[in-house]
């Protein structure tokens, strides 16, 4: 019965995440340094941020001659999220790993990919790895607020599964205090995952 509630909780959280406005498709061409192409996401298109691509999320530097590669990057990330939503975890999780290894830390897609990697661990019932990744995001001062909000509720739920109810309650209270209008507040309790 507990696995049923975990599954329902995961599906509900994924639904809520998919409803959030995280990415945009506005493009701002920029100069970049040349790098090696080690994966399907070219490092030559991803360097330190000088001007944000979007005002609220991703910052990726794209050379003027390859503006289409930026929309390709957003499409690749959206495809990974779509695969995750369709429970094609192996495909999606591999793509999220590539993003986390390729994107600059100043890019919020870096943090979103790190969050999804934690979700991948949860989907494989690798709770301690998920806790480790979520704790890393929780303590990172550069995590965007929209990701941090999800980290609070998800790490709290992980603590619930581990019977660390006191730690979970502290995170849930922080969520309610810092994000009083959060759509995740209904998920901020241990009853959701038990």
Separation of alpha carbons 64 and 83, rounded Å: 30
Handedness of CA 42, 44, 46, 51 (dihedral sign): negative
- The answer to whether residue 135 sits within a structural domain is yes
* SS3 of residue 41 by DSSP: coil
Predicted confidence at residue 124, as pLDDT, reads 93
CA distances from 62 to 77, 114, 124 (A): 16, 22, 35
CATH code (residue 119): 1.25.40.10
- The answer to whether residue 105 sits within a structural domain is yes
- Print pLDDT tens along the chain (194 aa): 566 555 555 554 554 455 544 444 444 444 444 444 444 444 444 444 444 444 444 444 444 433 345 568 778 999 999 999 999 999 999 999 999 999 888 887 899 999 999 999 999 999 999 999 999 999 999 999 999 999 999 999 999 999 999 999 999 999 999 999 999 999 999 998 87
- The answer to whether residue 79 sits within a structural domain is yes
Are residues 163 and 180 in contact, defined by beta-carbon separation less than 8 angstroms? Answer: no
pTM of the model: 0.64
**How many domains does the structure of the chain reveal?**
1
- The answer to whether residue 49 sits within a structural domain is no
Predicted confidence at residue 110, as pLDDT, reads 92
- The answer to whether residue 42 sits within a structural domain is no
- The answer to whether residue 119 sits within a structural domain is yes
- The answer to whether residue 192 sits within a structural domain is yes
Are residues 130 and 93 in contact, defined by beta-carbon separation less than 8 angstroms? Answer: no
How far does CA 34 lie from the centroid of its chain?
A: 27
Domain that holds residue 94: 1-15+72-194
How far does CA 54 lie from the centroid of its chain?
A: 16
- Give the DSSP per-residue string, 124-186: TT-HHHHHHHHHHHHH-TTS-HHHHHHHHHHHHHHHHHTT-HHHHHHHHHHHHHH-TT-TTGG
- The answer to whether residue 180 sits within a structural domain is yes
Query: Which region holds residue 143: left if phi is over 0, alpha if psi is between -120 and 50, else beta?
Result: beta
Are residues 151 and 137 in contact, defined by beta-carbon separation less than 8 angstroms? Answer: yes
């Amino acid at each position: 019965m507990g696995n049923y509630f975990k599954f329902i909780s995961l599906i509900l959280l994924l639904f809520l995440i998919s409803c959030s406005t995280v990415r945009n498709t506005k493009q701002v061409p920029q100069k970049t340094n040349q790098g090696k192409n080690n994966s399907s996401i070219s490092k030559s298109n991803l360097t330190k941020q000088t001007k944000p691509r979007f005002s609220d999320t991703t910052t990726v530097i794209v050379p003027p001659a390859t503006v289409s590669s930026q929309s390709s990057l957003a499409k690749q990330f959206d495809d990974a999220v779509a695969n995750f939503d369709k429970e094609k975890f192996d495909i999606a999780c591999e793509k999220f790993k590539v993003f986390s290894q390729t994107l600059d830390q100043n890019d919020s897609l870096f943090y979103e990919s790190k969050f999804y990697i934690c979700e991948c661990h949860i989907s494989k019932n690798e709770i301690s790895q998920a806790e480790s990744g979520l704790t890393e995001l929780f303590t990172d001062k550069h995590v965007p607020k929209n990701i941090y909000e999800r980290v609070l509720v998800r790490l709290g739920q992980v603590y619930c599964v581990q019977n660390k109810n006191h730690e979970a309650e502290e995170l849930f209270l922080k969520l309610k205090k810092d994000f009083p209008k959060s759509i995740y507040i209904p998920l901020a309790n241990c009853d959701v995952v038990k």
